[in-house]
Every structure is written in C-alpha cells, then in structure tokens.
Structure 1
Amino acid sequence: MTFARDPLIRDFETIPRIPSWVTSGRVETLEGVAFLSGAALAHLHVVLGQADVPHSLLRERLALCAAEACVAYSGRPEGARELRDAVHLLRPGDLPGPAGETYLVWRRAVERPVSIKALSRELPSLDATRIAGWLDVGQGGPVTRASTVLAAVQTEAPRADVSALVLADVALAQALGWDYIVPLLAAGLTRADLRKRGDDLRLACHRAVTASAIEAVRLAADLVRRTAHLKTVAPKLRAKGAGDAVEMFLTRDAVAPAALPLPDRAARRLCDRLVDLGAIRELTSRDTFRLYGV
C-alpha cells in the first residue's frame, strides 16, 4: 500500500503542509476559531504518527519555545540562546537561575509519558492530589479542556503560570490520546491572555493552538530532513562512541561536546566533522563553550 497520493500522509520526501485555509484563516467567532484549531490539531496528530519524525527532538525544541515564552511573560530578557546556556553549561552544584529553572521544568515535562506521579516530580511545588483534581475539571473538546485546566490552576495558584501551562498541555495531550506532552499553548499565548477567563480565554487558547500546531508541523518537517541527513552521514564516522553521540543529536535540542561519550578532544573533532558534513549546526556563534544541534 502506498501513501504517496494521500494529502494527509507524508510522502517519501516531505511532510505535507497544513492546508492554506487553516494557515490563513481570519475568523473571529469562537466556533470558527475552534474549527481551525481542530483542523490544525488533526493534521498535527497525523504528522506525529509518522515513524520518521524525531519525536523526542521535536518535543525538546517545542519545550524550548514554551520556556522562552514563559520567561518573556515574567519580563525577563533571556532568549533561546541564554536558556540553552543556563541548562547545558550548568556545572555540578550550580543553580540554573529562574529562567534556566523554567526551561528545566519544560524539558522534564516532555521527557516522560504523562502520569500524575511524573508530574508531581516535575512540578514539585504542587502535590499529586491537586494535580489530579485540576486535570479532572476539564470537560468538552481538547482545547476547551485545556483552557479550563489553565484557568483552574491559575485561580488556585495565581503565581504558577509555568505549572498552569504545563498542566494545560497535559490536558490537551490526554484529550487527544497522546502519551507525551507536546507543548503548544505557551508559545501562542500572550501575558494578557493568561488573565482572561471564560470564552475570552477559550478563544485565545484556540488561536494559540492553531498557530503552534502550524509551527510544530513545519518544525517536524524540517527535523525529518535534518535527521535523515545525519543518519546518512553517520556511517562515515570512525570515532569510537560516534554512534552513541549521533543518537544524542537525534534526540536532544542541544549538546555540549563535554556531554558526548568521547574524550574531550575527540568530541570536539566529531562535532566539527559533523558541522562540515552539514549534519549538525553550531548554535552559539562563539569560539568557546559551544553547543551543537541538528
């Protein structure tokens, strides 16, 4: 059986784009926006079902976007580059700082399948009973459930924006039957949106999910191409431990040479070799303390 002619299924080379009537939709009513978000989520659901999508890497990239948005909500200046530094260059015993801690929360949230036990570890300021109670309040469609959970958490814990957004994405994932969180809400909402309630919040969440799902599909297509190239050049690598190193690049947003399972000099040479082959990128644009990723 071939899927080459099915517009919803990835062909041999590319993941299809979301239809233009979804990406360019300019509707204002709650019903219309809900229809577009449903279409975007349905398309993303199909994309996530493709085996060659690097799921762990995709979730890490989306987690970085979510963390960047949450840091911006708090009025802090750190962007993606600073967040990567705060986490990947962290030395034993050092603290990541407020922005780095936000990024760590999102990274931990996407690492494991959704469960109350895992969430209570990832969100240590909230106990398991409260988390379970909040997730039970969501009713209706996926985005409606997510917005209800978001409002419930913020009402009871008004300073827990990051936890509220994580749990809203959990509610969305549960409603869609996804085993893992796929961060979609935070990157599409504004600080003002987080203070809305009722239909206004639902409208904002539908718009956020639509925009983020479109971006997630684009990112998935890009990562499929990039990881396919990395897998193609991997057999050319002769360094001992290169296979394990490649696997790290296939699953992580960013990697420091020191984290690779090779001696320091060999790790740096491997990274340079992969950059020369066009298989990975140097992410920091500096000469020292470099980070690399697909």
Structure 2
Amino acid sequence: MTFARPDHIGDPDTLPRMPAWVTSTRAETLEDVAFLSGAALNHLHLVLGHEAVPQALLRDRLALRAAEACVGFSGRSERLGELRDAVHLLRPGDLPGPAGETYLAWRHVVERPVSIKALGRALPSLDPGQIAAWLDAGKDAPVTRAAMVLETVLREVPRADAAGLILADAALAQALGWDHVVPLLAAALKRADLRKQGDDLRLACHRALVSSAVEAVRLSADLAPRAAHLKAVAPKLRAKGAGDAVEMLLTRDAVAPSTLPLPDRAARRLCERLVALGAVRELTGRDTFRLYGL
C-alpha cells in the first residue's frame, strides 16, 4: 500500500511517539492484550509511513534480530555480531553455515515486496504451492491470521521455526496492507510460545507484537536522524562511487568496505571518513575485517 504523508513528514523530529499507556497498561485477557497490540501496530503503521525512516535499513536490522532469535530457538549460540560476520564476510564459494543461512533467509524476505515468489526465494526448500497453502491457513484479523499460519506450519513441520515465523510475519504484513515483510514476531516470542496452540498462541503473539512494535518504533526513531545526517554529509564526499556507497549504507544493516563500488583502499578511506564525520559507526570493534553501518 502507499502511505499518506503530511507535508512535514520528512523531518525525523516529527516521528510520532508510541503512547505511554501502550506499554504501561497491564493486560491479562486476550481481549485486552489484543487491544494493546492493535494500538501498537497502528502506531507502527504511522511510523512506517514517515519519509524520514530508512525503511529498507529498518527491515534489514529487524531481520538480523529475528535471525538471532531463530538461531537461538534451534539451540545455537550465534549472536548479532557473529551473524553479521557469517554473511557479510563470506568469500566467493564459502558457505554461510546454518546460522548464516537463517540470517540470509530473513534478509531475502525483507528485500522484495511480499509475494509467494519472494517467499519462495527466501525459503528455497519449500514448494511455492505449500507456501501459498500455509498463508491461506490464516483467517480473520491480522494477528489471528499470523498465529494460525505459525501454528499450521509448526504442526506440519515441527522444527521449521524460522520458516513458520517468516510466513507468520508475511501473513501479518499482507493482512495489514504492508508492501514488505516487517520482522516482528520472532524477536519477541519465547521458545515455549512456539509450542502453544489456539488462544494461548494468539495471546503470546499479541504480547510479542506489543513489545516488537514498540522496539521497531524506537529503532525507527534512532535510525531516522542517523540517515538524515548521512544524507547531509554525502555532498562532502569526493570519491567516485561515493553516492552508491551511501545508498548501500542507507539500506543495509552492515556493509563491508570490500562490497562498496570503490577500490579497496578508497572504500576503507571512505568508511573512515564517514566515521570521522559521525555519519556511520564501525560495528565490530576490530582493527581488521571491519563492518560499517548506521
């Protein structure tokens, strides 16, 4: 869908804040928690329509957090930094490993508008017809649809946690009229929640979406001024290919200098220049094999 944008909506300072009562209200019943998740999702919808929010970057960073959660559900210990390394430091011919494959699946999901074809690219082990059938398993309101899809996938393929959560988020996005999948459920659900069914799973999903929508709004508020600052300093960059490099930094969670459209030395110097200008951060804390991002 196309979001309506007021005249002032390009200013990161105008990002609407999540109402305090959404997080301060204690709710126990399914009806009350559903009300709070609806309010949180509606507020997130407004934020996603804000021009100042670098939406591709936001989705990519949320994808990293979703992947970390899914890797944890599978019993593995890789955290955010290790997942970044597993994907961004791959050399031609290298395999990303199980954790890296999970992260790549989430990244592929958020890159393109949600569709059966896009989901099939992200989940190549699944038949597109099966993906479509699972998405059709969800009925009624958006969160109920997402919960039903998750329950159906995990009932039929009990260990397919990542696939079930990806498809649940896809069902949620479709129900809300969003063009792209926004990873929300995985990072806020617990492993035990994935074994729940019916109203218990719906309640867990509503609670997770309150938490994850609040976090997505907070992350949007953090990224919007960072993106604005990077755009503001971009005209100071003289290197050929700097514009394309800036665009990559505005759309990706992390970037290795070797992937930028510049010679290696020039790419490293550009990244160091952007760090000096306060426009990007070095994300690893290392002296070599560095990664950069907002």
TM-score normalised over the length of structure 1:
0.96
The answer to which of 11-20 and 58-67 deviates more is 11-20
CA distance in 1, matches of 2:163, 2:6: 43
How far the C-alpha of 1:16 sits from its partner, in A, is 2.2
Which residue identity is paired with 1:88? H
How far the C-alpha of 1:126 sits from its partner, in A, is 1.1
Structure-1 residue corresponding to 2:164 = 164
Does residue 181 of structure 2 align to residue 194 of structure 1?
no
CA distance in 1, matches of 2:121, 2:6: 43
1:50-129 equivalence runs, <5 A = 50-129=50-129
Which residue identity is paired with 2:180? Y
Q: For the Cα contact (< 8 Å) 1:10–1:16, is it kept in 2?
A: no
Q: Secondary structure at the match of 1:91?
A: coil
Structure-1 residue corresponding to 2:43 = 43
| Structure 1: stretches of 5+ with no match in the other structure | none
> Could you report, residue by residue, the CA deviation over 1:144-177 in whole angstroms, capped at 9, with x for unpaired residues?
1000000000111111110000000000000000
Q: Secondary structure at the match of 1:158?
A: coil
Q: Secondary structure at the match of 1:94?
A: coil
Q: For the Cα contact (< 8 Å) 1:283–1:291, is it kept in 2?
A: yes
Structure 1 residues 174 and 81, CA gap change in structure 2 (3 angstroms): same
CA distance in 2, matches of 1:10, 1:143: 30
How far the C-alpha of 1:121 sits from its partner, in A, is 2.0
Q: After TM superposition, what 4+ stretches of structure 1 lie above 6 angstroms from structure 2?
A: 1-4
- Corresponding residue pairs, total: 290
Q: For the Cα contact (< 8 Å) 2:108–2:121, is it kept in 1?
A: no
> Could you report, residue by residue, the CA deviation over 1:206-258 in whole angstroms, capped at 9, with x for unpaired residues?
01111000000111111110000000111111111111111110011000000
Structure-2 residue corresponding to 1:230 = 230
Taking only aligned residues, the RMSD between alpha carbons, in angstroms, comes to 1.4
Does residue 148 of structure 2 align to residue 148 of structure 1?
yes
Which residue identity is paired with 1:94? D
TM-score normalised over the length of structure 2:
0.96
Q: For the Cα contact (< 8 Å) 2:12–2:228, is it kept in 1?
A: no
Q: Secondary structure at the match of 1:113?
A: coil
Which residue identity is paired with 1:132? A
CA distance in 1, matches of 2:282, 2:27: 40
Q: Secondary structure at the match of 1:67?
A: helix
| Structure 2: stretches of 5+ with no match in the other structure | none
Q: For the Cα contact (< 8 Å) 1:169–1:185, is it kept in 2?
A: yes
Structure 1 residues 260 and 11, CA gap change in structure 2 (3 angstroms): closer
Does residue 192 of structure 2 align to residue 207 of structure 1?
no
CA distance in 2, matches of 1:10, 1:209: 26
